[in-house]
Every structure is written in structure tokens, then in C-alpha cells.
């Protein structure tokens, strides 16, 4: 599938990895729907990328909200050909801490946003893409999800986050197998430590320490590197049903 002249819904597209994807796809003459809870940053990015972008305030855990974002793609650009799932939250909390057991509502919230929210976007986007006319390769769409290296080597305090991202990894293949019959590919990227707003609150000392844990290159990942991989996945039709680690050979320590 070509990026040019096609339309992509980017969940969590207002900042970080999602914003980098929006910029990359727009630069390659694709159209983007920026779906994010942050109206200020989302609208600012849509204005920057106009006329190839629209912003729709969207909570990925809200079924109707995601449906509105998908419909916005059809209304603004005539169809939907891809979805990129970048919306997510992180939590660091021990199962048994100084103040007692892990907060159950906090655990459920992480699962709700990272796993159920991702599935919500997949199901809604796939339903719209299924109505698209297939291209010469009989392809109708591409879905790219974001997991994390924490899905494979989560650290102490990452039970909720690792469980949510492990769920994204686990559903990639079965959904890819199901949607293959209608010409929709499903892929997942598992990034390592990237320089996003999620890390922006950390001190420079901590950021340097994190970078030094990466074998090569020994630095934080750049969002545009993630976006370049998304672009390649969209355009390489043999990539389907797989999880790609994008981490500089990082394997997370116990803590």
C-alpha cells in the first residue's frame, strides 16, 4: 500500500510517536486523522499539517468517539486505509508496596487504555476499511499497533504496563489471520526507550542513564525513527502478523 493519497487514523497522534507518524505520513502526501484527548496539541498539529490533516478529540476507550474519528476520515478524505495505534499510558507500581497491594483501579485503567483502547481502534478501523475498494494487490488497509519491549522483559513495577502491552502482542497474529481474508494487514512495533513526552519529565541524569543501557546506538530512540518504520510497514505488503522490536538491542534489567 502506498502512503500517497491514502488516509490514516492515528490514535494518540497529538504528541510523541503518534505526532511523528502524522508528520511523516503527511510529508509523504498521505492524509491523517489525528485522534487524541489533548485538543490543544492535536489541533495545533492538524493546523501545521493542513490541508492533509484533521483533528478529532478522541478517547480510545470510548466506542462512539473512535467511530466518530473513523467517520471523519471518510467525510474529510473519502475513505480510511490505515490506522496507527500510539495512544497509551504508563504506570509504575509494585504488586505489594509500602502502602499495601497494587491499586486495582489503576491496573484496570492501564489495561483499558493500552489494550482495550488498541482493540477498539482496530475493530472500528477494520470495519470501515473493509468497505474500501481493494488495490491492485487486493489490499484494503494496514493497521500498526504499539506494544513495548516491556511486553517481553518487563521490570519490577511494570505489571500493569507489561500486561497491557503483552496483550497487544498476543492479539496481533490472530487478528492478522482473521483480517487477511478482507485484505487488511496487522502489525505491531515494540519500541524500546524513546524520547517522548512520557520520558520528558525525567531528569537529564536519569535520561542519560537510560540511554547508556541501550547497546547500540547508546541513546534514546527518536520518534521519527518509529515513524519511518511505520511508513515501511505500510508500504511492504509482506509484513503481516508480526511484532518488530525497535530497541537498539535493549533487554531491560530487572529494575
Contact partners, residue 248, CB within 8 Å, separation at least 6: 192, 214, 215, 216, 217, 218, 221
Q: Is 226 a catalytic residue?
A: no
Q: How far apart (Å, rounded) are the C-alpha atoms in residues 224 and 20?
A: 5
Judged by DSSP in three states, 198 sits in helix
Closest CA to 16 of 193, 234, 219: 193
Q: Which of 145, 161, 129, 109 is nearest to 226 (CA)?
A: 145
How far is residue 151 CA from its own chain's centroid?
Answer: 14
Three-state secondary structure call for residue 148: coil
Helix, strand, or coil (residue 50)? coil
Task: Tell me the C-alpha distance between 30 and 24, whole Å.
Answer: 9
* Cβ neighbours for 245, distance < 8 A, ≥ 6 positions apart: 149, 152, 190, 192
Give pairs for 165-171: CB < 8 Å, separation 24+.
165/114, 165/115, 165/190, 167/111, 167/114, 167/115, 168/85, 168/114, 168/115, 168/118, 169/243, 171/119
Half-sphere exposure of 156 (CA within 13 A, CB side): 6
In the set 161, 162, 167, 185, the catalytic residue is 161
Question: If residue 243 lies in a helix (H) or strand (E), which one and from where to where?
Answer: strand 243-246
Catalytic residues: 161
Amino acid at each position: 500500500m502506498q502512503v500517497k493519497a491514502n488516509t490514516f487514523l492515528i490514535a494518540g497522534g497529538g504528541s510523541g510517536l503518534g505526532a511523528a507518524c502524522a508528520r511523516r505520513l503527511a510529508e509523504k502526501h498521505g492524509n491523517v486523522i489525528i485522534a487524541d484527548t489533548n485538543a490543544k496539541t492535536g489541533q495545533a498539529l492538524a493546523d501545521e499539517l493542513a490541508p492533509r490533516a484533521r483533528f478529532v478529540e478522541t478517547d480510545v476507550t470510548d466506542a462512539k468517539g473512535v467511530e466518530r474519528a473513523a467517520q471523519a476520515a471518510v467525510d474529510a478524505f473519502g475513505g480510511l486505509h490505515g490506522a496507527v495505534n500510539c495512544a497509551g499510558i504508563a504506570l509504575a507500581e509494585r504488586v505489594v508496596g509500602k502502602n499495601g497491594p497494587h491499586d486495582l483501579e489503576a491496573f484496570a485503567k492501564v489495561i483499558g487504555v493500552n489494550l482495550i483502547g488498541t482493540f477498539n481502534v482496530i475493530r472500528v478501523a477494520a470495519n470501515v476499511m473493509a468497505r474500501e475498494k481493494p488495490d491492485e494487490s487486493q489490499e484494503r488497509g494496514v493497521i500498526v499497533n504499539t506494544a513495548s519491549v516491556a511486553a517481553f522483559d518487563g521490570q519490577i513495577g511494570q505489571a500493569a504496563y507489561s500486561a497491557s502491552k503483552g496483550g497487544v502482542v498476543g492479539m496481533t497474529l490472530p487478528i492478522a489471520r482473521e483480517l487477511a481474508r478482507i485484505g487488511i494487514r496487522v502489525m505491531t512495533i515494540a519500541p524500546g526507550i524513546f524520547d517522548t513526552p512520557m520520558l520528558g519529565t525525567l531528569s537529564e541524569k536519569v535520561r542519560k542513564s537510560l540511554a547508556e543501557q541501550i547497546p547500540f546506538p547508546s541513546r534514546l530512540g527518536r520518534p521519527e525513527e518509529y515513524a519511518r518504520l511505520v511508513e515501511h510497514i505500510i508500504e511492504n505488503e509482506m509484513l503481516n502478523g508480526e511484532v518488530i522490536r525497535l530497541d537498539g538491542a535493549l533487554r531491560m534489567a530487572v529494575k
